[in-house]
């Protein structure tokens, strides 16, 4: 029963991602068959996002815990730097990332806290 529910959830999420991806990204399909060439990347990006986003969430969660220790050791600026580095960055894979057109940032920009 649980496996069937999970399968339906993943299938629904994949279908929703595929149906809404073009509208959400603001891309217009190419007039000379470019949409057919884009579809494999869109499917791969949607499937990859279903696997990647939970991993990114786990990193963000671990960064939140680590930021607490950073606060205890170095103060609020270090806490902010750790938390923002682990939670910023790309949360969704896009066809542009898979094609190498867009930059893929797993972690956010690491801001060095200014010395006091």
pLDDT at 90: 85
Specify the pTM.
0.59
Both structure tokens of 43: 């499917």
Q: Which is nearest to 94 in space by CA: 25, 1, 6, 13? A: 25
pLDDT interval class at 96 (50, 70, 90): confident
pLDDT at 84: 86
Q: Domain map of the chain by residue range?
A: 59-109
Reported as a single tens digit per residue, the pLDDT across 15-74 is 555 555 554 455 554 444 455 578 888 888 888 889 889 999 999 999 999 999 999 998
Q: How far apart are CA 49 and CA 105, in angstroms?
A: 14
Both structure tokens of 29: 């399909």
pLDDT at 85: 87
């Amino acid at each position: 029963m649980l496996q069937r529910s999970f399968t339906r959830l993943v299938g629904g999420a994949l279908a929703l991602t595929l149906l809404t991806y073009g509208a959400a990204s603001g891309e217009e399909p190419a007039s000379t068959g470019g949409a057919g060439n884009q579809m494999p990347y869109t499917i791969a990006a949607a499937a990859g996002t279903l696997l990647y986003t939970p991993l990114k969430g786990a990193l963000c969660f671990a960064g939140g815990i680590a930021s607490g220790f950073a606060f205890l050791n170095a103060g609020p600026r270090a806490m902010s730097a750790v938390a923002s580095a682990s939670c910023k960055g790309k949360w969704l894979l896009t066809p542009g990332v898979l094609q190498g057109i867009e930059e893929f940032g797993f972690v956010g920009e690491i801001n060095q806290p200014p010395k006091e």
